[in-house]
């Protein structure tokens, strides 16, 4: 939702921070607190250190009974009363406060609250509370609060395909059976997030039965090609970018991920094909999914299939953040009826620890909107169904923000020591692996007989001085390593941690020279 919080926010309060503010630098008639700026950078998460955390400018012209230190302390202490409900940390420690400017002569205070998503569900509350708490200071005459958003880059963005480097969050909407309303949920979720202020795209990944052209009706129903970059330009409807094989026109169509250029997106919603087969597995391996939303119906049979999907995502390290149970109930004669039974969705939540469950009713209008080309949340934004999707949208924003705090394992090749470096953030563990060891431990069908388990690749087949040509993340659970002989190895993080490690290496692990 908002910027990632620090690991130990309690260790630095805005009050203690301000008491440490010295010395002051005078620049063009203003005073800039360099120590505070340095401290702000120190306690700001790495993804936000590209821009300074807090700038404080003080107009020293005139006279006042309020000192610079007192003014700084007052404003930041007041703002530290505002707690991010998801992280449980004040907005000063989270690094949301930017460009703090104080004019002594007029008593005017200006600052910017920078969030990591324009769809932050509490941004209005932040703005209102910030205005209120600073206005309560006795020497303050006027408060100017500006809201902005600086979306966090994807983790290890430089290692991702270019088309994915500008997408902050990728959310899969999945089901293990067809006909449960997965596409309906995907489309309405996308337009809900867009209504919250986010930049959103939908990718219809169901090659054999694309639904997107039926559910939305853009004026331009054909995808276009950029003649200069040779990339596909998504079509657009009501501000949401759309990609589907249904928009590719008649005849043969080839559409690969690197060919699509959707620009900067806060959220890309992938309408997954139903099932848990090779297509779904490959999508999860190739695309670094942030999270997954599971769509099901109340029947027990659907629960069995959902369990398969949840296990698939768990194996691939993709967090399932919510279950949407479609066609749950209808209201008639003053009563709520459950024609397909109830409780299977709750069973999924309890058994697998998925944090949120949303029930969608049986509504003719919801079905009709899918056929009309206008999503229900657009045609009836104040309806009961839209409110449910609004809650789902808030859930997606909040959960994606929390997930981004969890840094996944990083794997790179360190040329200075000719070793593969592995960083495991959960345990703060870091170790080196000999490239030949990694290559010899490949467990794919090319190296191990699937029927007998016999190792096909022999020890002597791998040169001791072999070096990887490229290492890239493979979804959230592994890396893809390309070797000089053209072999592409998928190495799961769990497997890397079990391999024999280099005990003696020529330099400490804190020194990095990654390829």
Please identify, among 127, 149, 171, the residue that sits at the C-terminal boundary of a domain. 149
Cα–chain-centroid distance for residue 147? 20
**CATH no. for residue 201?**
3.40.50.300
Stronger pLDDT, 361 or 478, i.e. the higher one = 361
Give me the pLDDT at residue 326, please. Answer: 92
Is residue 60 one of the residues assigned to a domain?
yes
**CATH no. for residue 105?**
3.30.300.130
What is d(CA 475, CA 312) in angstroms, rounded to the nearest whole number? 13
Structural domains in the chain (count): 3
Task: Classify the C-alpha dihedral 220-222-226-232 as positive or negative.
Answer: positive
Average pLDDT over residues 424-428: 66
Domain match, 92 and 231 both: no
Give me the pLDDT at residue 231, please. Answer: 75
Return the biggest CA–CA distance within the chain. 86
Domain match, 28 and 89 both: yes
pLDDT in tens, 463-501: 999 999 989 877 667 788 999 988 888 888 888 988 999
Give me the pLDDT at residue 129, please. Answer: 92
What is d(CA 240, CA 97) in angstroms, rounded to the nearest whole number? 30
Average pLDDT over residues 327-340: 90
**Cβ pair 395, 207 in contact under 8 A:** no
Kindly report the CA angle at 196 between 194 and 201, in degrees rounded to 5? 20
Is residue 486 one of the residues assigned to a domain?
yes
Q: In whole angstroms, how large is the CA radius of gyration of the chain?
A: 26
Is residue 31 one of the residues assigned to a domain?
yes
Kindly tell me if the per-residue pLDDT of 339 is higher than 80: yes
Is residue 418 one of the residues assigned to a domain?
yes
Domain match, 166 and 230 both: yes
Domain match, 307 and 449 both: no
pLDDT in tens, 62-118: 444 556 667 878 898 899 889 887 767 888 888 888 888 888 778 889 898 988 677
Domain match, 382 and 473 both: no
Give me the pLDDT at residue 52, please. Answer: 38
Please identify, among 379, 404, 429, the residue that sits at the C-terminal boundary of a domain. 404
Domain match, 246 and 368 both: yes
Helix (H/G/I), strand (E/B), else coil: 167: strand
Domain match, 84 and 31 both: yes
| Residue closest to 120 by CA, chosen among 223, 4, 30, 251 | 4
pLDDT in tens, 272-294: 988 767 777 778 777 888 899 99
**What is the β-pairing status of strands 30-33 and 142-149?**
unpaired
Is residue 246 one of the residues assigned to a domain?
yes
Is residue 111 one of the residues assigned to a domain?
yes
Average pLDDT over residues 241-261: 66
Domain match, 118 and 164 both: no
Domain match, 258 and 283 both: yes
Is residue 509 one of the residues assigned to a domain?
no
In this structure, what DSSP letter does residue 153 have? P
| Total-model pTM | 0.66
Please identify, among 358, 381, 404, the residue that sits at the C-terminal boundary of a domain. 404
Stronger pLDDT, 157 or 348, i.e. the higher one = 348
Domain match, 179 and 285 both: yes
Provide the residue range defining the domain that includes 26: 9-149
Domain match, 163 and 100 both: no
Question: Residue 433: what are its φ and ψ, rounded to 5°?
Answer: -125, 140
Is residue 506 one of the residues assigned to a domain?
no
Q: Count Cβ atoms below 10 Å from residue 422 Cβ, excluding itself.
A: 22
Domain match, 169 and 265 both: yes
């Amino acid at each position: 939702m908002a910027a990632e919080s620090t690991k130990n926010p309690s260790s630095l309060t805005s009050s203690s921070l301000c008491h440490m503010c010295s010395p002051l630098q005078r620049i063009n008639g203003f005073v800039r607190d360099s120590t505070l700026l340095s401290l702000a950078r120190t306690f700001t998460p790495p993804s936000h250190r590209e821009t300074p955390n807090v700038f404080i400018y003080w107009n020293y012209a005139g006279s006042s009974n309020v000192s610079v230190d007192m003014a700084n302390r007052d404003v930041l202490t007041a703002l530290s009363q505002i707690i991010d409900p998801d992280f449980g940390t004040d907005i000063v420690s989270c690094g949301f406060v930017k460009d703090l400017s104080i004019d002594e002569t007029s008593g005017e205070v200006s600052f910017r609250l920078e969030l990591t998503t324009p769809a932050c569900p509490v941004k209005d509350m932040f703005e209102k509370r910030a205005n209120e708490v600073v206005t309560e200071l006795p020497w303050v005459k006027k408060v100017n609060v500006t809201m902005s958003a600086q979306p966090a880059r994807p983790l290890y963005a430089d290692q991702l395909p270019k088309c994915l480097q500008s997408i902050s969050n990728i959310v899969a909407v999945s089901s293990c059976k067809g006909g449960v309303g997965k596409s309906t949920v995907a489309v309405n979720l996308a337009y809900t997030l867009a209504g919250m202020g986010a930049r959103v795209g939908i990718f219809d990944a169901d090659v054999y039965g694309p639904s997107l052209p039926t559910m939305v009706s853009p004026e331009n129903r054909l995808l276009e090609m950029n003649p200069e970059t040779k990339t596909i330009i998504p079509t657009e409807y009501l501000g949401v970018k759309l990609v589907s094989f249904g928009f590719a026109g008649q005849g043969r169509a080839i559409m690969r991920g690197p060919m699509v250029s959707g620009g900067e997106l806060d959220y890309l919603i992938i309408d997954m094909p139903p099932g848990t087969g090779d297509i779904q597995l490959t999508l999860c391996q190739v695309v670094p999914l942030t999270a997954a939303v599971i769509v099901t119906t109340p029947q027990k049979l659907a629960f069995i299939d959902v369990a398969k999907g949840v296990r698939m995502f768990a194996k691939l390290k993709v967090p399932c953040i919510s279950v949407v149970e479609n066609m749950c109930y209808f209201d008639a004669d003053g009563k709520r009826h459950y024609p397909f039974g109830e409780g299977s969705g709750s069973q999924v939540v309890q058994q697998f620890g998925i944090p949120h469950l949303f029930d969608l009713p049986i509504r003719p209008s919801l079905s009709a909107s899918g056929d009309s080309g206008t999503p229900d949340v657009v045609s009836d934004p104040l309806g009961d169904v839209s409110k449910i999707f609004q809650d789902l949208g808030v859930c997606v924003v909040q959960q994606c923000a929390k997930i981004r705090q969890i840094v996944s394992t990083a794997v790179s090749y360190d040329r200075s020591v000719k070793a593969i470096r592995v960083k495991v953030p959960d345990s703060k563990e870091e170790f080196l692996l000999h490239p030949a060891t990694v290559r010899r431990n490949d467990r794919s069908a090319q190296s191990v007989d699937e029927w007998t388990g016999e190792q096909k690749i022999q020890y002597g087949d791998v040169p001791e001085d072999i070096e990887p040509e490229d290492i890239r993340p493979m979804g959230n659970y592994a890396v893809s390593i390309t070797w000089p002989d053209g072999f592409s190895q998928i190495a799961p993080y769990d497997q890397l941690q079990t391999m024999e490690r280099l005990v003696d290496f020529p330099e400490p692990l804190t020194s990095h020279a990654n390829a």
